Structure 1
Amino acid sequence: MQAQMLAPAAALVAWSLVMLMLIPVTRFPALAKLGINVGNAPRGARGGDSEDQMPERVRWISHNYTHLMEQPTIFYPAVIIIAMMGAAAGDVLAAWIYVGLRIIHSLWQAFVNVVAVRFLLFLAMSAALIYLSVRAVILTMGVA
C-alpha cells in the first residue's frame, strides 16, 4: 500500500514539472513580441518585473505554477506520513482525488480561468487535503 499511497505524490511532482515547462514555452514568445531580450536584462532583473506586460494567459500559467508550490507543500508530507504509518484504500483514493483536482485546477486556471469555477475546484481539493492531513495526524498520534 506504500507505493500506492506515494504514486499520487509522484504524479503531482510530474504535473508540476509540466506546468513549469509551460512557463518558458509561453513566456519567451510573449517577451519576444514585446521586444524584450532576456539576454540584455539589467543585472538583478526578475521575471516578475515584466509581469504586467505579459498577456493574461501567460500570467495564468505562471500563477498556477506558483499555486503548485504552495498548497501541495501540505500534501506531500501528509502523503509520506500516511504511507509510512500504513495507508488505507480511502487514503489512496483521497490522494488521487486531490491530484486529479489539482490537474483540473491547473488546466482551468491556465486556459479558461473563470474564478468562480476555480474557487469551487480549490474548495474540493482542499477538502481532500484536509482529510489527508487529519489522517496523518490521527495515524501519528495513535488516535485510531
Structure 2
Amino acid sequence: MPPVLATGASPLIGPVVSLCGWTLVMEVWMYAVRIPALNKGTSQNKLKIRPEMTIQEMNSVIPHNARWKADNYNHLHEQPTKFYAILVALMQLQAHDRLTVGLAWAYVCLRVVHSLVHAIANPIMARFQVFALSSLTLAALTARAVQLYMQ
C-alpha cells in the first residue's frame, strides 16, 4: 500500500525528501571515514592540521577509498540541485501523473546506486553509466515540465 500523503501534498515531495535524506547518509558516511583517516595521518606525523593547508595536502594522507565518500557527497550537491529545481517546477505545475512521479523516483534510485558504486569500489565506467542514466532521467523530467508548462 502506498504511503498516505499529507492532505494536498504532492507525490513529488517523497523523492525530494528521499534524496535529501540520502545526501545526509553520505555526509555521515564521509565523516565516519575521513575523520579517522585524518586522525591517523596526524598521529603518524604525516600531516599537521593548520589553517592555511589545502585540500590537496589533507587528501595526501587520506586513502583513495575514504576520499571517494567525500567526492560523492560533493557530487550530490551538483547535478541534484537541478533535480530539486525541476521538481519544484513540476509541483507548481501540479504534475501528479505516474510517469512524472516514476521518473522522479527513478532519478533518486539512480543517484543512490551512483553513490554506492562510487563510494564502495569506484569502477569509473560503471559509475559513468549510472550517471548517464540519471542525466537522461533528469532530462526527461525537464522535458515533462516543458510539456506541462506549454499546455
Q: Same fold (TM over 0.5)?
A: yes
Shift of 1:93: 0.1
What corresponds to 2:143 in structure 1?
A: 134
What corresponds to 2:116 in structure 1?
A: 107
Q: Give CA-to-partner distance per residue, 1:30-87, whole Å, 9 cap, x none.
A: 11221259xx732244555311321011110000011100000110010111111021
What corresponds to 2:83 in structure 1?
A: 75
Q: What percentage of aligned pairs have identical amino acids?
A: 34
What corresponds to 1:91 in structure 2?
A: 100
The structure richer in helix per residue is 1
Q: With the length of structure 2 as denominator, give the TM-score of the two structures.
A: 0.85
What corresponds to 1:6 in structure 2?
A: 13
Q: With the length of structure 1 as denominator, give the TM-score of the two structures.
A: 0.89
CA root-mean-square deviation: 1.8
Aligned to 2:40, the other structure's residue is in SS state helix
Q: Answer 1 or 2: higher relative contact order, Cα 8 Å, separation at least 6.
A: 1
**Consecutive unaligned residues in structure 1, runs of 5 or more:** none
Change (3 A) 1:41 1:34: closer
**Consecutive unaligned residues in structure 2, runs of 5 or more:** 1-7
Q: Give CA-to-partner distance per residue, 1:79-137, whole Å, 9 cap, x none.
A: 11111102121000000000001001101100011011101101111111000111222
Q: State how far apart, in whole Å, the 1-side matches of 2:55 and 2:9 are.
A: 39
Q: State how far apart, in whole Å, the 2-side matches of 1:51 and 1:133 are.
A: 36
